[in-house]
Amino acid sequence: MEHDIGSKIKAARIEKKLTQEQVAELLGVSRQTISNWENEKSYPDIISVIKMSECYDVSLDYLLKGEQKMKTYYDYLEESTNVVKSNANRNRIITILAYLLIWAFAMIVFWFFTSGSDAMGYSLMFLWIILPVTTFIVSVVIGKNNFWGKGKWAFTIFFGAMYMLAEYGTFKMANNIAFNKLNAPDFGMIVAGAIISAIGMLVGSLCNKKRPNQNREE
């Protein structure tokens, strides 16, 4: 008898004396989805396969090692994995682009839409409200989704540097022009921006840990 992913997960479920309804509840899917998997009308994703191997006390090797029909499943698995990776990369790019767009927008507004009388007030609003809040929110998103895995913490330096450049590109630069002198950047702003980002990532990471059975990017 030829064994494939559908018949294997069905046999393992029956051996464990579990109903489709019970497995569906454990996996967080519908009973019809379990039925479709067992009848090979559709294929389970890799996370569901891992959960089923734990549920049925069988090895992944048993479920995934196969003969002829398994090639179809591996093709599906590779395709779905590529889709997940593509979506994750897209979300990373969107998150960073959102931050950069807000940063650039605030700089443009400062230089092109504020006059000398309100430039100081706007630069303070930008430096103490808009950019810190944006940095915090974006960092929470990065932490919650575990973008870049452990490498995400390196982005605290990036956000710190951008915070310093924001201060130098607005208040300091306007001061340089007004008094015709060159002020050095305030490198302490890097520390301030990095701390804001680190707190946001920590909050996001803690939220991530509270969500059970989540597939995290490593």
Same domain, 35 and 102: no
Residue 12, in any domain of the structure: yes
Assess whether pLDDT exceeds 60 at residue 182: yes
Average pLDDT across the chain, whole number: 82
Residue 216, in any domain of the structure: no
Domain boundary among 68, 96, 115: 68
Same domain, 99 and 29: no
Same domain, 114 and 198: yes
Residue 76, in any domain of the structure: no
Same domain, 170 and 98: yes
Same domain, 45 and 112: no
Band (pLDDT 50/70/90 cuts) for residue 42 is confident
Range of the domain at 158: 88-210
Q: According to the model, what pLDDT value does residue 85 have?
A: 73
Same domain, 101 and 45: no
Residue 75, in any domain of the structure: no
- In this prediction, residues 96-121 reach a mean pLDDT of 83
Same domain, 172 and 203: yes
Same domain, 101 and 197: yes
Q: Tell me, what CATH number does 39's domain have? A: 1.10.260.40
Overall domain count for the chain = 2
Q: According to the model, what pLDDT value does residue 116 have?
A: 63
pLDDT in tens, 132-176: 999 999 999 999 988 888 899 999 999 999 999 988 888 778 777
Same domain, 147 and 52: no
**Could you write out the three-class secondary structure of the chain?**
CCCCHHHHHHHHHHHCCCCHHHHHHHHCCCHHHHHHHHCCCCCCCHHHHHHHHHHHCCCHHHHHCCCCCHHHHHHHHHHHHHHHHHHHHHHHHHHHHHHHHHHHHHHHHHHHCCCHHHHHHHHHHHHHHHHHHHHHHHHHHHHHHCCCHHHHHHHHHHHHHHHHHHHHHHHHHHHHHHHCCCCCCCCHHHHHHHHHHHHHHHHHHHHHHHCCCCCCCC
